[in-house]
């Protein structure tokens, strides 16, 4: 039996341990430097110092953030804080993911193979005997003050590509802010006290956000969400009044929410759309990676603009407006529920360019930016959050120099430090070392397939034929283009999740489990690629996926979530009131705002405070100022959007339910040219029948209408309100 040392007990290390143990041909040891499993997901409900907040949702759905042989529905999500079992969301929270990994370990990886608090400090090749029978690797590790060296036949590195935050100094030439101005990495931001730790007033200050990729968009939205909540929650504070996020980006980016339109009127989780089998041309599925030719870049921009509903000009920020013509750089995205609406409202101001320096002058802390040949100065900087990514170097420090050289290691390349092949698992110069998830944006399903590929290779199967995009010269050329920030280098150069899953399944002779799906229908999930012994789990998960797919497309599941997201921000309102009593007829012109805030009740996932102000003009010409407030809420467990009254004497607090919205199926929405919802409310003896008409364009809602028909002994009127988008920059 051969021996294998696996470094890292995150998702990659655990699935590798399970795969090699299941083969029955390897003695497995897993070394983990932390005191618990999980990697970046080593988080429980109370963790305050992890890379992620415990409440941070996954970027992709539970059908992508999963392994083939453990169904999310079997995971214990009992909350010690709430004293009840949490509902399983479509996008699990960070502490949910840790529970998933704990259960995975309990089922498949014996504790005896796990060595916690054990840091590998050196991995070197052993001298080979003439017959090559002795182990290939000498692994030196440190546990507390004890150091020991052991020999292994194989070494598998799964210590994480995002192993350490990239220092700000690698992006900004000089950072010398004024007294009290905090500079933190985005992974350190959990609450506003992380950037404003003192109780002093911070009114009107800007929080400078540096970083133009996914983590930059996520961080900007996270800070903006807390600023909004601080202003509009029942325990609101004037301390942050006038504060905003200034997000400096080197290029435009598209903000994609968790749920997007699949076909008119039907909304699905983002990965269902991105990795849809039906988008692939007929014939064998071909995988792609590396630099993108112009026609591919244009196609991707077109696809993303279809998702967001246009070129983003409607957001009122030139820095985010998608380029026109054929000279487009590769598209960048940020996965965020609300980034675009915070931009539209002005709570996030986006600035094109790169930050060159952060200094202190007589006015306070300033930042200097450069965009092409143009220099600008940003004033009133109260804090700095940098989301400039992570460096993988810490995950490779233990490798001996000769091993690094054989792997073409480049310390200056943060995006591709090693030259690897076979779906980024190995290098033929050092055939007994393997890598899992060692690239930007690793998927759990890819790591599972990578572990299967390595296991089969080390059991004697021949290598797969080399893909053109993994030829050494092409990879070296790509690395040089990354260093030069070439416009044809994509955000995720190894990002064809569907293609690689199909590639590796073909190599492993795994047949895709379609069940009720048509041959080119649905999206990949690890459970669709069954291995012997996991058939029941695979079958149940694929059934669950197919049910949800149909529920979204036929019944309109998550339309309410998409509609709720699209309401955020400011609207110009025009209301017509027609009453049998002419004294109550008239018009109202004004503005309505949907202010996001943290939910004020545990049963809800999202919440807005709705504030309406305007001038009412009666049919006889009298005018008066009018205002009203509601609270809009969304509950994912019920997929329910609801509207609530506020308390008369505490207008930031929820009083009681006004109505629940019930959305029509997508087919009916297509007939009416808009998503339509209806609601009823009985007020004593007066019935309020409400119709919402929301003509969504992708994820964008430029206008909508609400009609109240009120009938009863005390009231009889129809109020129709037109809502039209307004930008704070107008």
Tell me the percentage of the chain whose pLDDT exceeds 90. Answer: 88
How deeply is 180 buried, as exposed, middle or buried, from its count of CB atoms within 10 A (0-12, 13-18, 19+)?
Answer: middle
Q: For residues 621-651, b (16+ Cβ closer than 10 Å) or e, as one string?
A: eeeeeeeeebbbbbbbeebbbbbbbbeeeeb
Q: Which two tokens stand for residue 105?
A: 């370990």
Q: Which pLDDT belongs to residue 130?
A: 59
What H or E segment, with its residue span, contains residue 202? none
Backbone angles phi, psi at 102, to 5 degrees: -60, -45
Cβ atoms of 489 and 330 closer than 8 Å: yes
Q: Which pLDDT belongs to residue 56?
A: 95
Rounded mean pLDDT, 623-647: 98
CA atoms of 117 and 126, how far apart (whole Å): 25
Q: Which pLDDT belongs to residue 714?
A: 81
**730 pLDDT higher than 50:** no
Rounded mean pLDDT, 38-47: 93
Flag the least confident range among 18-27, 353-362, 531-540, 718-727: 531-540
Q: What is the pLDDT of residues 43-100, one digit of tens each?
A: 999 998 888 999 999 999 999 999 999 999 999 999 988 888 989 999 999 999 999 9
All domains of the chain in start order, with CATH = 2-163+392-545 (3.50.50.60), 166-253+293-329+332-389 (3.50.50.60), 560-725 (2.40.128.20)
Task: Read off the pLDDT band of 307 (50, 70, 90).
Answer: very high
Q: Which two tokens stand for residue 274?
A: 């991105």
Q: Within 13 Å and on the Cβ side, how many CA atoms surround 76?
A: 8
Q: Which pLDDT belongs to residue 129?
A: 65
Q: Which pLDDT belongs to residue 80?
A: 85
pTM to 2 decimals?
Answer: 0.95
Q: Which two tokens stand for residue 691?
A: 């119709």
Looking at every residue in the chain, the average pLDDT score rounds to 95
Rounded mean pLDDT, 232-249: 94
Q: What is the pLDDT of residues 135-152, one digit of tens each?
A: 799 999 999 999 999 999
Rounded mean pLDDT, 484-507: 97
Q: Which pLDDT belongs to residue 164?
A: 86
What H or E segment, with its residue span, contains residue 322? none
**133 pLDDT higher than 80:** no
CA atoms of 153 and 98, how far apart (whole Å): 30
Task: Read off the pLDDT band of 272 (50, 70, 90).
Answer: very high
Rounded mean pLDDT, 297-312: 94
Q: What is the pLDDT of residues 661-680, one digit of tens each?
A: 999 999 999 999 999 999 99
Q: Which pLDDT belongs to residue 315?
A: 94
CA atoms of 400 and 6, how far apart (whole Å): 16
Q: Which two tokens stand for residue 495?
A: 């990002």
Angle among Cα 484, 485, 488 to the nearest 5 degrees reads 110
What's CA 73's distance to the chain center, in Å? Answer: 21
Q: Which pLDDT belongs to residue 238?
A: 86
At which residue do the structure tokens 């900007």 appear? 220
Q: Which two tokens stand for residue 172?
A: 């900004």
CA atoms of 109 and 624, how far apart (whole Å): 70
Flag the least confident range among 160-174, 422-436, 579-593: 160-174
């Amino acid at each position: 039996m051969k021996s294998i040392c696996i470094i890292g007990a995150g998702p990659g290390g655990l699935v590798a341990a399970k795969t090699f143990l299941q083969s029955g041909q390897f003695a497995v040891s897993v070394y983990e430097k932390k005191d618990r499993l999980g990697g970046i997901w080593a988080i429980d409900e109370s963790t305050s110092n992890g890379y992620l907040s415990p409440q941070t949702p996954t970027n992709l759905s539970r059908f992508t953030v999963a392994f083939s042989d453990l169904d999310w529905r079997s995971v214990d999500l009992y909350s010690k804080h709430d004293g009840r079992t949490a509902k399983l969301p479509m996008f699990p929270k960070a502490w949910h993911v840790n529970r998933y990994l704990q259960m995975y370990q309990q089922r498949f990886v014996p504790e005896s193979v796990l060595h916690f608090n054990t840091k590998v400090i050196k991995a070197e090749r052993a001298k080979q005997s003439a017959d090559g029978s002795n182990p290939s690797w000498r692994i030196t590790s440190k546990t507390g003050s004890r150091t020991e060296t052991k020999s292994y036949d194989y070494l598998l590195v799964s210590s994480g590509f995002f192993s350490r935050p990239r220092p700000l100094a690698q992006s900004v030439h000089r950072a010398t802010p004024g007294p009290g101005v905090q500079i933190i990495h985005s992974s350190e931001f959990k609450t506003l006290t992380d950037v404003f730790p003192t109780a002093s007033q911070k009114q009107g200050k800007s929080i400078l956000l540096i970083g133009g990729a996914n983590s930059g968009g996520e961080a900007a939205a996270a800070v903006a969400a807390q600023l909004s909540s601080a202003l509009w929650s029942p325990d609101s504070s004037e301390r942050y009044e006038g504060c905003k996020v200034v997000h400096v980006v080197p290029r435009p980016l598209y903000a994609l929410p968790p749920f997007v339109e699949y076909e008119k009127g039907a909304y699905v989780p983002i990965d269902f759309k991105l990795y849809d089998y039906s988008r692939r041309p007929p014939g064998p599925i071909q995988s792609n990676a590396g630099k993108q030719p112009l026609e591919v870049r244009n196609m991707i921009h077109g696809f993303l603009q279809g998702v967001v509903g246009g070129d983003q000009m409607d957001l009122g920020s030139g820095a985010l407006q998608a380029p026109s013509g054929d000279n487009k750089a590769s598209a960048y995205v940020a996965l965020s529920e609300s980034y675009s609406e915070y931009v539209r409202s002005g709570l996030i101001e986006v600035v094109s360019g790169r930050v060159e320096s952060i200094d202190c002058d007589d006015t306070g802390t300033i930042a200097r930016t450069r965009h092409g040949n143009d220099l600008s100065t940003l004033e009133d900087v109260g804090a700095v959050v940098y989301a400039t990514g992570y460096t993988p170097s810490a995950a490779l420090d233990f490798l001996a120099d000769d091993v690094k050289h054989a792997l073409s290691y480049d310390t200056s390349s943060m995006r591709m430090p090693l030259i690897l092949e076979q779906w980024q698992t190995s290098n033929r110069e050092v055939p007994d070392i393997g890598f899992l998830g060692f690239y930007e944006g690793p998927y759990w399903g890819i790591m599972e397939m990578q572990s299967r590929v390595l296991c089969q290779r080390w059991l004697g199967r021949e290598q797969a034929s080399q893909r053109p995009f993994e030829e050494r010269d092409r990879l070296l050329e790509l690395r040089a283009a990354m260093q030069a920030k070439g416009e044809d280098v994509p955000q995720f150069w190894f990002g064809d999740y569907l293609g690689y899953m199909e590639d590796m399944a073909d190599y492993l002779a795994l047949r895709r489990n379609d069940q009720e799906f048509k041959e080119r229908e649905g999206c990949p999930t690890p459970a669709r690629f069954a291995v012997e012994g996991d058939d029941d789990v695979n079958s149940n998960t694929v059934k669950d996926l197919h049910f949800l797919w149909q529920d979204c497309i036929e019944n309109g599941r998550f339309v309410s979530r998409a509609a709720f997201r699209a309401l955020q921000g400011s609207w110009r309102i025009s209301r017509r009131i027609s009453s049998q009593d002419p004294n109550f007829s008239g018009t109202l012109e004004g503005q309505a705002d949907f202010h996001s805030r943290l939910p004020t009740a545990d049963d809800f996932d999202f919440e807005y405070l709705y504030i309406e102000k305007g001038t009412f003009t009666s049919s006889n010409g009298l005018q008066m100022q009018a205002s009203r407030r509601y609270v809009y809420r969304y509950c994912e467990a019920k997929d329910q959007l609801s509207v609530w009254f506020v308390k008369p004497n505490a207008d930031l607090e929820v009083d009681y339910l006004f109505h629940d919205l019930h959305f029509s199926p997508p087919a009916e929405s297509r007939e009416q040219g808009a998503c339509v919802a209806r609601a009823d409310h009985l007020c004593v003896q007066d019935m309020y029948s409400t119709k919402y008409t929301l003509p969504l364009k992708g994820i964008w809602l430029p206008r909508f209408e609400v009609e109240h028909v009120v009938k009863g002994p005390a009231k009889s009127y129809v109020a129709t309100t037109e809502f039209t988008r307004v930008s704070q920059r107008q």
